[in-house]
Amino acid sequence: MSATAAARQVRELAKQDKIYITKHALERMTERKFTYEGIKRALSFAVRAVASTNDSWEIYGKDDDGRDCKVVVAIKDSIIVITVM
């Protein structure tokens, strides 16, 4: 899948609220003060996707407070959030 296609698919899945947050990602969200709504916004309006390791993608966007964030995800029938930075 191309980066453009990955970003498009992430945006579509996020807008349908098809987001699964792993335990690790939830811990990082708490530690870094990101909310679910903020991560959903960053994914819904993703500006860039970069291929990462093990079939995962780094998705770049802004949370609901306007902070830049990188969300590492796997794309399946839903978005599996692996970690948040």
- pTM for the predicted model, two decimal places: 0.92
Range of lowest pLDDT (2-6, 11-15, 19-23, 78-82): 2-6
Is the pLDDT at 1 greater than 90? The verdict is: no
Query: Residue 19 and residue 84: Cα distance in Å, rounded?
Result: 13
Query: Residue 65 and residue 79: Cα distance in Å, rounded?
Result: 21
Token output for 81:
């959030």
Determine the average pLDDT of the residues in 5-29. Answer: 96
Query: Residue 46 and residue 5: Cα distance in Å, rounded?
Result: 12
| Per-residue pLDDT reduced to its tens digit, 30-70 | 999 999 999 999 999 999 999 998 789 999 999 989 999 99
